[in-house]
Structure 1
Amino acid sequence: MMTANSAYELLEYAYDKLDFSQGDLVSSKASLSEITLEEWIEKGDWLELAKQVEAEKVFFVNNNPVIIFAKCDTQEDEKVRQIFNKIWCMARPSYLFLAKEGELAIYDLTKPPARSIEDWKKNNRPLEVAQNIREVTSKLYQYRREQIESGKLFEDERFETSNQRADQSLIKDLKTVRLALIRGGLSENKRKYAHALIGRSIFIRYLEDRGILTQEYFEAIAQNNATWKALLNAPDDQLNMETEAKQHYIKILSDKSFTYALFNRLSQDFNGDMFPSDEQEAESVEQRHLSLLQEFLHGNIDPQKKLFFWAYKFDIIPISLISSIYEEFYHESNTENIDNGTHYTPSSLVEFVLSKVLTSDCLTTHPRILDPCCGSGIFLVEAFRRIVRHRVYQNQEQRLSWQELREILKNQIAGIEINSEAIRITAFSLYLALLNYQEPRNILSQIKRGEKLPFLIYQANGLSEDNHFNNLVCDNAFQEFSNSEDLILSRNFSSQCADVVVGNPPWGSPKTKDKKGTKDLNIALQWCQERDYPVGDKERSQAFIWRVFDFLKDNGWSALVVSTGIFFKTHDKSKEFRQKWLNSVLLKEVVNFAHVRDIFFKSGNKNQSSASISPFASIIFQKVNQTELTLKDQVVTYWSAKKTAMIKNVQAVILSVMDRRGIRQSELFYNDSLWKIYYWGNHQDAGLIQGITLAPELKELHDPNNSGQGFTTGSAYSAPQWLSEYQNLPIPKFQRYSSIQKDWFTSSPKKVHRIANESLFYGERLLIKHGISQASRKKGEIIARLESENFSFTNSVNCIKLHDAEEWKYKIILGTLWSSLSRYYFFLTSSKWGIWHDGIYKDEYLSLPIIFPKDQGIREKVIDIVEQLQNCNPIKYSIEHPEEKTPEKIEAQLTELEYQLDEAIFDVYDLTIAERDLIRDMCDVGIEFYYNHINSKAVKPVESYPQQNQGLLNDINKNRQTQKGLEGYLQAFLDIWNRELEPDGEFSWQIIRPQFQGLENPMLAVIFSTQEYGEKPQPVSQSDQKQWIGIIAQLARQENGLLVPYNSHQIYLDGLVRSVSDTEIIIIKRNERRFWTRSMAREDAEATMLQIINLQESQERI
């Protein structure tokens, strides 16, 4: 009988055979000598947390902990349940690899914790189990490193998150108790008491779990009160709580007087910022409210909802999560649907943004960090933690003293916040962070010595003594603190007061009914106007960028989360803002999160889709003295985060180098349309758009007096009598092709909000829908018609009439609007489509470049196809119409006509093969991916064509309409590179599709090798998997430099390798169709050409 493998053996085997040891796998017990300063700054607190939960190692993806490896010393299910519940409290990791003798099991940490052993056995079955080291490779292969890092694992429906991670669950649970308290009477102006009770409860539970508040502490408060003592000594609730759970506070909540005696004592022992004195609170809060809290802590507040408060261990739950919870409270309104432009910022996003500016080099200079709209303080908390991690590393892992921690908080952390409740939460969050870096015994000693937490919130005419830091100010950030008579404000919050400014300022502009928001915005706009800082569309992000600029010292850095409107709004003032801003700073990096906004921010209205969530971006810039500013050489790194299964399930910022662009700041300064073009396109698209726009625009042809939008629905005004003479065509009936049916029309309304010019409703005219259709055959279609029949329509339709009303010109324009060219053009240039609410403004339609073909044959061809599509009104096959076509035949007919129309319009615009491919790839792959993201065809594996795995250009199918898989890619790449070897040589190609135990590797490799022209390539005898291992080993041996743009161990994360030598070109990319199009082939060919030029130049210099 075989001896069972030990837990240690199983984990070690998994590290090696599942390839985690080649990735970012870090021991929780790693000493500082084993990791770099940068790694410790990014991962230090996660490693400390892992050590606390007795985990062995942590596997990171882009500094996000994804897998926890742990051991269990017994075979008992109860012990396994406890380990799972404890590690679940870490909140961020997705998987737990738990080893015990004879078993390595994988658990999903997005599943809820189990309250009992019965619950555990019923609901917490492992995803997979290996019972010996052989089964580690045979059963756990789908959890290999490449499957995790590439995100392939998360594409499997079995691994979709249940959204019950500790962070998501705790936020939902706290919302539940908050709502219960509000409904229980703590509403409107008493709502702050509900928040205070929840805040104190979390703080007390944190102090209990850390062993700071002990039995002795509570007994000292009870003293000779027999009732209170009896409460404390009552038996613990074993049924509803974990055995190790501290239950003193839960018991105390049964008695209001005891509860407030505890609050008062804590206020004395800590300070008033944490427990501010408010006599009205004690009067407003009743015992029933405390009983609600008590039930909540037991997890029994709502029989309809499964609450997990019993499972939360606040000595484990990340401190940043606790502060972010309150940010959610602050932004949520129960009675008013007012969007104040502020947003709860997930901790993963905060960590990502701060990592860009608070680097080890920056932290060495002891920067003063300001958040001018700090909300509940999540940016300041994480900034404080990064500083501490940096100092701890410099101190060789020695804990910082109480005085050192206070000095960091006093001298390096500052915040401004307009909401008084939020600023108290900031103080609360910073206190938790401060205490978290101290041992409980040291905190208890400080309490006994009377050393309280410092007062952080500024009080007018307050004290400036040792324990009053005054580094949090409750005020409008646009108040001019420089003019204040108070030295604290004028010295610490004036112009050029900060080395680094961070935060997530309010976005957009306030709604009409938000009077306070409007008043605050007017102060901001006035401040900007006085300093000649342009702001367009009353956009708060623009105003705050100027305020941040003012707060920054020369050469200071800023990292902000802002509305994408700063890049895409077309108002003249918005353009003026971009011009002045880009001429005042060095812009280092922009990450456009528009496509993934619903992953990081949730809509306040559960009935709204992600379209209701404002698109946002992160920006990193440096304030540079004007005399030193030069835009010529500054390259902006512009990322476009795309929605993948990995980002969706891990809920962290994970970017692909395939979505990275480098653009000169000077180009953005002179051409701000590049922001939109590079969102989904690249420099090739920018060049094509520039070429297309040389043609005359539609606005030069249209009649402005007889063009415009239809009427606006509403009841403000009576409609004119003439409107009743026109039948109205409802928007759902506004279709691209076929004739309009009589029974589609309805009566025009008797009331309107705004009437339109009557001339829009009669005569020959182009009608174009404002919104981009998502319900048509293809998502993302422009719906346009040419009509002469009289009827009315709403402002969802734009009417365009021409000066020269020749019918053939209308049909050429209609054909252009129907073509892939206009779809491509507007997707890459319109300010809304692909960003927020998909639509195209009338002025943007009028910017469409129009070419009328001079060649009579091309003109007639376009007109003929347009007329066929106009008249395409097929009756589908049915029993009543057996002679008609099936839906498949109808679709095939339309597809063929649309292909012919595209070709004809491409001929009109004289486009090259490469330009046609750019347009088709964007329409067929890019736009389809935008709409369908993780379910898109664009992210599916490349079809296995060519069916052979090696050959020459002549072996590839040349029919462009029937090419599949890699055939188009190979032809486009070789058409370019073979010219370099003519006439005697050419490139052969070889495709490597590695597999491991039948599971496809997420990467695909193509090797192009030089050889004599016409010579057949030598057959390869090795399997694809062995060749793959050889390629990785080859890349690892090469020196980093021109040959290897990316570390070979980073291949699965980067998703791209282009390696060039004298005889070989290796292209490795993710096995997703969007990366292997003809256009991508040309981009790869161009990039490798540049590499070979650089290689030759470097060899010449040697």
Structure 2
Amino acid sequence: MTNRHLQRWLDAWGYLDAPGALHTAPEQVPAEHVYRREICGLLDPAGAVRAQAVFDVDGVPAVCFLAEDGRRDDAAALDAIRERIWNQNLISIVLTVGPDQATALPVVSRALPGETLAFSDASATGPFSRADVQSGEVFVARPTWFAAEGRVDRVLLENLQVMVRELEGHGLSKIDAQLLMAQVMFVSYLEHRGIAGETYRRDHDVESLFTLVGRGDVAGVSRLLDRLKTDFNGDLLEPGAKTEPFWKKLPAVAISRLHAFLRRVDLASGQQDFWKYDFRFIPVELISGIYESFLADDKRDVGAYYTPRHLAMLVVDLALSKSTNLLAERIYDGACGSGILLTTAYRRLLGKAEAQAGRTLGFAERVDLLKSSIFGSDLNLSACRVTAFSLYLSVLEGLDPSDLAILTAQGSSHLPKLVGHNLQGGAEGDFFSQANPRFKAPDCSIFLSNPPWVEPKKNVVLSSDTWAKAKGFDIPRRQTAGAFILRALDCVTPSATLCFILPVSILAAPSSREFMREVLAHYEIETLINFGDVRKLLFAAARQPCVVMVARPRSADQVAPAPTETIEYWVPKADLSLAFGRLTLHGSDRHRLRAQSLAHSNELLTTLFWGNAHDAGMLALLRAGGTLGKFLKATPGWGSRKGFHAKDSSVEEPASSRPLWKLQYLDAKAFALDGPVLDASTLAPFPKAKLPTVARLPTSVMDAFTGPRIVITDGMTTQREVCAAFSSTPFSFKSSIGAIVAPPGQEDLLRFLALYLHSDLARYGLLLTAFQVAFERERVSLKDLGALPFVAPDKHKDPARARAIVREVSKRLQALERTPSLARADQYAQWKPEAQALIAEYFGLTAAQTTRIREVVDLVLDSVQPGAFSALHTPLQHRPTQAAAQAYARTLVQELGQWRDALGGEGRVQAELIINERTAHGALGILRLSPAPGTGAAPALTTQRSDDAVQAVVATLQRHQQLPAPLSQNMYLASDVVVRVENSLYLIKPLLCRFWLVGEAMRDAERIVRAAQPEAR
């Protein structure tokens, strides 16, 4: 096939309109591209893949194009190509093109069938087009093509874990089994990459590990490993004290299984029809990350979590982005683990140095760059050795020749000794120890780290605790990562950039409010990136999400943020782009906070995660009348209680449970309700045999068991509602259940409050104010409920109407209580819309506020923190209906009208909505705003659904160079772009629900006004 034919396909699919993302020759790949080496390897005419083009999405290679060169009809050749690409862990789709037909093939598995396309069906909005890929819709139609469990890191990790379990079964300890498999993996890497190649083996009279294990030659294995250990400065992990005795203890069946691992058999199934991992193509960072993921004996206890490759890339980008002399930086990671951050940073420096030199750096130059730039420490000496090993591999990667023996024969120096020099492990690697050499002469200009996320038990004292106590710092929950933030200031220069990967709770939890103020007293925070919505996709085993903090040390003459100081707060959402292994940040996910506001209240980090400034304003206005917590505290007889504690270590003489025997008992596990009414059938006799005593039974707790109250569990219902129910039946309950209690005669208001806690307003308020609901989705505390807006009827602006609403709600709920339990759910569902309207009236919600609350409840709540890649197509990722897009447009025009009136303007706005057809892949919507003649009401919104019309507008804007360069090539990042052409404004957005919400319309209107009217800022 000729290049002309390839051009036809690329043109038809729209790829030629994004030249910056389409790579067709190695020499054309920008020197600064973070995946330049990988892309050049794919495009190398003499390489293993020999692709004709590679397309990246937001910098991450996603699609590989193969033309007619004899391999297109050769299934075995295509399988070999896909296997190599699979090992690289970047490309997701291979497109092989002929003159009249193309075939799309998934990379993740050979078992999945491909799809054939005719050239006559190729279009810019069709399957596998640029729009289809950039928008992520290709994933929606083919989720199995992007299955995370089929990626090379998952498969390799699973095989390693299978081997560890089997070796344990043969008598090895878990740690020895893990170290043995780490050793086998690293030696395989050296051999596959040619570092311990033929010349190396010949010169040192050793054979390959594969050959030696295959024939059970333990002495030969020992000789090979000892030789490698010498050449790699001892930084080769190994189990046992001595190599040969350890291997001799392995039974023959264990040796056989190791050989199966080296043959790359899928150990879980015993099959060989899966792709085989090939360390020639697996990235260095991936190897170190896999080690970190499987080697930690208990990651939860040590607080170590594998830093995903794309997160490591982002952190390094942020840390290095403002450097004016990259090659002069001294980069330090105080908890380097297996070194994925340092390895990524070193590869970035190496790429920069080679781009400046215009050639590949030699071995000695690479070593010099490493020794002068990269530093790390870790308590775990084994982790430091893996870091050293990963850095050695990075030094050797891409060298020609790469064989260590040939390099030595050519006069190259040996690999540098890193552990004990650039890398400190053990006692000297303790970040909080005075013995750590990095603190003796602070010269670090870039600090980046994913510190341990440890909240130690009461009887455990860590070095971080000792250091914090000596310095007078109060670290929330004794979280080691919090102490890390403050300790890092002692090892950096005054102008350093620091970048941390932290548990979000250390900055955003209510208990961290004072600590947030402490951090702001010591740092000028430039950027906070809250990854709360992708927690289960980034750190599947972590208890909480991560936040990335980029900051600089505050000047010595400053003790607090200045009034003008601002912080970029980014809140990326679970996006279809994650299927391609990339983290996408849309403009609508960016906020700018005043640092002083954050110092005043860290609740902003929760509110602005799913909300915007309008939401914050609405909540502030509603709370101005009071909150539920203030009402309970200030009103006599009202309050909140917890049930009894079964045990309390501080109580020497427990109380008898006899006073509770005459009461029924509510078990939290049996808690059931129909809306705000408790299902009384779940009550049971008190378990006196199981609980003969309880910690204590004060009068306040006993009163909560007998009077009317609202009982509340920590969890939420499947509809993300508070588990709250009114009941006047006497019963007892444990402390896992809380209660809102009231004096006699307040049953009506209690019932109203129970309904309120089930309302859309409460669900909306909790998502935007309750830390755990927003980021963990696990529990709602009584304190969280106390932050909800509430005003008592007698304090209401219309007390008579407020009392009438309370009576009406109580009357309906009493009827619901009398309804047979089987019919109760249907009756409540029928009344619920009216109930929501009564709540809205009570709180004085406007129609616009009600609409905003409704869209958050309907779309956002069901989209929070998808648990797997297969669940990425959340309601927010669906296409908006035409009615929803029109509602966005009308709200935007209305908001602009209100801004016009507030600023003393005049005139009207004509809005025209242009959207793609329903069949278009990667559909866009365009809203054109133009001045309309006359005064009075705005003209009616006009809507046009046409692929040609959308393309015509985009082409016009591109032709007049009105679009920012990056967005001109990827419109699917253009969620907040406003373009002005003559007297018209254009808003261009992907047709995804989350960009067409009423809340987005309010925010977009304000952005338009502030851009056009500087005095409105």
TM-score (norm 2): 0.88
Q: Summarize the Cα distance change of 1:1076–1:76 in structure 2 as closer, same or farther, 3 Å threshold.
A: closer
2:1017 is the counterpart of 1:1087? no
Check conservation: 1:673, 1:829, Cα contact below 8 A.
yes
2:722 is the counterpart of 1:729? no
Distance 2:621 2:1002 in 1: 18
Q: Summarize the Cα distance change of 1:532–1:1022 in structure 2 as closer, same or farther, 3 Å threshold.
A: closer
Report the Cα offset of residue 625 of structure 1.
1.9
Give the length in aligned residue pairs. Answer: 980
Q: Summarize the Cα distance change of 1:153–1:1035 in structure 2 as closer, same or farther, 3 Å threshold.
A: same
Report the equivalent of 1:1011.
932
**Aligned partner of residue 583 in structure 1, secondary structure:** helix
2:397 is the counterpart of 1:475? no
Q: Summarize the Cα distance change of 1:902–1:363 in structure 2 as closer, same or farther, 3 Å threshold.
A: farther
2:485 is the counterpart of 1:545? yes
Check conservation: 2:676, 2:726, Cα contact below 8 A.
no
Residue number among 960, 974, 977 corresponding to 1:1057 in the alignment: 977
Deviations along 1:131-174, whole A, 9 cap, x unmatched?
Answer: 5x434439x92212222222222222555523212222122222
Report the equivalent of 1:21.
16
Report the equivalent of 2:75.
77
Distance 1:91 1:364 in 2: 28
Q: Summarize the Cα distance change of 1:742–1:832 in structure 2 as closer, same or farther, 3 Å threshold.
A: closer
Look up the equivalent residue of 1:321 and give its one-letter code.
L
Report the Cα offset of residue 676 of structure 1.
0.9
Distance 2:648 2:943 in 1: 77
Report the equivalent of 1:640.
571
Report the Cα offset of residue 316 of structure 1.
1.3
Report the equivalent of 1:461.
none
Report the Cα offset of residue 300 of structure 1.
4.1
Distance 2:943 2:990 in 1: 24
Distance 2:590 2:620 in 1: 21
Report the equivalent of 1:178.
164
Report the equivalent of 1:1035.
957
Q: Summarize the Cα distance change of 1:561–1:724 in structure 2 as closer, same or farther, 3 Å threshold.
A: same
Distance 1:1004 1:430 in 2: 47
Report the Cα offset of residue 306 of structure 1.
4.1
Report the Cα offset of residue 576 of structure 1.
2.4
Distance 1:318 1:136 in 2: 34
Matches within 5 A, 1:393-408: 393-396=355-358, 398-408=359-369
Distance 1:624 1:575 in 2: 19
Distance 1:262 1:320 in 2: 25
**Aligned partner of residue 353 in structure 2, secondary structure:** helix
Distance 2:837 2:383 in 1: 60
Report the equivalent of 1:463.
none
Report the Cα offset of residue 54 of structure 1.
2.2
Structure 2, unmatched stretches of 5+, are none
- Deviates further, 550-559 or 307-316: 307-316
Report the equivalent of 2:60.
64
Report the equivalent of 1:465.
none
* Cα RMSD, aligned residues only: 3.5
Distance 1:26 1:283 in 2: 54
**Aligned partner of residue 1090 in structure 1, secondary structure:** helix
Deviations along 1:755-801, whole A, 9 cap, x unmatched?
Answer: 554434444443242434232xxx21123333332111232322222
Matches within 5 A, 1:373-452: 373-396=335-358, 398-440=359-401, 443-448=404-409, 451-452=413-414
Report the equivalent of 1:119.
none
Q: Summarize the Cα distance change of 1:94–1:876 in structure 2 as closer, same or farther, 3 Å threshold.
A: farther
Matches within 5 A, 1:212-361: 212-215=195-198, 217-219=200-202, 222=205, 249=211, 254-274=216-236, 279-285=241-247, 286-287=249-250, 288=252, 289-300=254-265, 302=267, 304-306=269-271, 311-333=276-298, 339-359=301-321, 361=323
Residue number among 891, 895, 909 corresponding to 1:976 in the alignment: 895
Distance 1:8 1:1095 in 2: 55
Distance 2:452 2:807 in 1: 51
Matches within 5 A, 1:785-800: 785-800=725-740
Check conservation: 2:112, 2:145, Cα contact below 8 A.
no
Distance 1:338 1:1021 in 2: 54
Distance 2:778 2:379 in 1: 34
Report the Cα offset of residue 308 of structure 1.
7.7
2:600 is the counterpart of 1:698? no
Q: Summarize the Cα distance change of 1:268–1:973 in structure 2 as closer, same or farther, 3 Å threshold.
A: closer
Q: Summarize the Cα distance change of 1:298–1:1089 in structure 2 as closer, same or farther, 3 Å threshold.
A: same
Report the equivalent of 2:113.
125
Distance 2:325 2:523 in 1: 21
Q: Summarize the Cα distance change of 1:359–1:931 in structure 2 as closer, same or farther, 3 Å threshold.
A: closer
Look up the equivalent residue of 1:560 and give its one-letter code.
F
Distance 1:658 1:995 in 2: 24
Q: Summarize the Cα distance change of 1:169–1:642 in structure 2 as closer, same or farther, 3 Å threshold.
A: same
Structure scoring higher RCO (CA < 8 A, sep ≥ 6) equals 2
Report the equivalent of 1:1077.
997
Q: Summarize the Cα distance change of 1:100–1:208 in structure 2 as closer, same or farther, 3 Å threshold.
A: farther
Check conservation: 2:65, 2:95, Cα contact below 8 A.
yes
Residue number among 900, 913, 916 corresponding to 2:837 in the alignment: 900
Check conservation: 1:763, 1:787, Cα contact below 8 A.
no
Look up the equivalent residue of 2:150 and give its one-letter code.
Q
Look up the equivalent residue of 2:598 and give its one-letter code.
L
Report the equivalent of 1:498.
444
Deviations along 1:960-1018, whole A, 9 cap, x unmatched?
Answer: xxxxx34433432333335649999533332212239x325432222233223489989
2:453 is the counterpart of 1:507? yes
Look up the equivalent residue of 1:208 and give its one-letter code.
E
Q: Summarize the Cα distance change of 1:725–1:828 in structure 2 as closer, same or farther, 3 Å threshold.
A: same
Deviations along 1:96-129, whole A, 9 cap, x unmatched?
Answer: 1223566432111122x5xxxxxxxxx3531x22
Residue number among 136, 141, 147 corresponding to 1:151 in the alignment: 136
Look up the equivalent residue of 2:805 and give its one-letter code.
K
Distance 1:406 1:548 in 2: 27
Distance 1:1038 1:890 in 2: 60
Look up the equivalent residue of 1:538 and give its one-letter code.
R
Distance 1:56 1:386 in 2: 26
Look up the equivalent residue of 1:598 and give its one-letter code.
K
Distance 1:971 1:187 in 2: 67
**Aligned partner of residue 1008 in structure 1, secondary structure:** strand
Q: Summarize the Cα distance change of 1:58–1:161 in structure 2 as closer, same or farther, 3 Å threshold.
A: same
Structure 1, unmatched stretches of 5+, are 1-5, 114-122, 224-231, 233-245, 459-468, 604-611, 879-883, 946-964, 1098-1102
**Aligned partner of residue 834 in structure 1, secondary structure:** helix
Q: Summarize the Cα distance change of 1:216–1:280 in structure 2 as closer, same or farther, 3 Å threshold.
A: closer
Report the Cα offset of residue 587 of structure 1.
0.9
Distance 2:616 2:154 in 1: 41
TM-score (norm 1): 0.82
Percent identity over the alignment is: 22
Q: Summarize the Cα distance change of 1:748–1:380 in structure 2 as closer, same or farther, 3 Å threshold.
A: same
Deviations along 1:684-720, whole A, 9 cap, x unmatched?
Answer: 1122222222233223335689741113456986752
Q: Summarize the Cα distance change of 1:157–1:101 in structure 2 as closer, same or farther, 3 Å threshold.
A: closer
Check conservation: 1:728, 1:791, Cα contact below 8 A.
yes
Distance 1:250 1:310 in 2: 24
Deviations along 1:518-568, whole A, 9 cap, x unmatched?
Answer: 34x2x1111122223331111122111112222221111111111001122
Distance 1:876 1:363 in 2: 75
Deviations along 1:786-838, whole A, 9 cap, x unmatched?
Answer: 33321112323222224686444434544443433333222211221121143
Deviations along 1:329-351, whole A, 9 cap, x unmatched?
Answer: 22244xxx853211011111101
**Aligned partner of residue 336 in structure 2, secondary structure:** coil
Distance 1:325 1:991 in 2: 48
Check conservation: 2:712, 2:724, Cα contact below 8 A.
yes
**Aligned partner of residue 879 in structure 2, secondary structure:** coil
Q: Summarize the Cα distance change of 1:1015–1:362 in structure 2 as closer, same or farther, 3 Å threshold.
A: closer
Deviations along 1:657-701, whole A, 9 cap, x unmatched?
Answer: 222211121221122211111111111112222222223322333
Deviations along 1:1055-1099, whole A, 9 cap, x unmatched?
Answer: 3322345632322222233332333322222222222224999xx
- Deviates further, 46-55 or 18-27: 46-55
